[in-house]
Amino acid sequence: MKSARRLTALIFSLAILSCNAKEPVMETSKEAPAEPTGKVEKTDEEWKKELTPEQYRILRQAGTEAANGAVYKEFKHQGEGSYHCAGCGALLFSSKEKFDSNCGWPSFYDPAKAQNVKTKKDISHGMIRVEVVCAKCDGHLGHVFEGEGFNTPTDKRYCINGGGLVFVPAKKDGAAEKKEEKKP
C-alpha cells in the first residue's frame, strides 16, 4: 500500500514538473559570437556540456522543434539583426532574408553568409528532402524547399529550427539613438 502511494505521489510530482517546464526559446545575445575560422569539431560530451538540451537535440540529433511554438512567435517579433549557429557562432542568416511563410518555423529565402551553410540529401522519415546544416560544425538547422511560389528573390524557403540559432539584434547608430531620445 505504501509503495502504491509513493508511486502515485511520484507520478503526480512528475506531472506538475512537466507542466511547469519552460518552453524553449531562441537564445539572444547583445554581441555577435566569435566567427569560427575553420571546422569546429567536438566530442559528443563537449557538445552536451555547451548546448542546452533542446539545442543539442536539434543541432546534434537532427531534431525538430514544435511548429508555432514560443520560438516561432519570438522570431516573428524580432527586428533587424543576425542569426548565428548556437553550436559554433557562425553567421547563418539575417533579418534581411527573413520572411513569414506561415509554416510555423523561422523562414529565410537565402543565407546571410553562404559559405557557412551547406545542404545535403535527407531521406529520413520516408521523405526526400534537402537538409540544411552549419558548414562549420555540421549542426542540423532544418530543411530548404524550392518552387513553393513565395514572392522572394530566390523562391526558396530555408525552414529553420529557431532553437538552433542565436539572434543578435542590430546595433543602432548614434544618430538613430539620439532621435529616439528626443521623441516626446
Amino acid identity at 54: E
**Cell numbers at residue 168, please?**
543578435
Residue 24, pLDDT score: 61
Helix (H, G, I), strand (E, B) or coil at 77: helix
CB contact set of 145 (below 8 Å; sequence gap of 6+): 129, 130, 156, 157, 159
Strands 165-169 vs 27-28: parallel, antiparallel or unpaired:
parallel
Residue 25, pLDDT score: 65
Where do the structural domains in the chain lie, given as residue ranges? 40-170
Q: What is the pLDDT of residues 5-34, one digit of tens each?
A: 443 343 333 333 333 344 566 788 888 888
Confidence of residue 104 (pLDDT cuts 50, 70, 90): very high
The answer on pLDDT for 62 being more than 90 is yes
Active site residue 159: yes
User: Distance between CA atoms of 72 and 59, rounded to whole angstroms?
Assistant: 17
Which CATH number describes the domain made up of 40-170? 2.170.150.20
Say how many C-beta atoms besides its own lie within 10 A of residue 118's C-beta.
15
Q: What is the pTM of this model?
A: 0.80
Question: Annotated catalytic residue: which of 88, 134, 137, 159?
Answer: 159
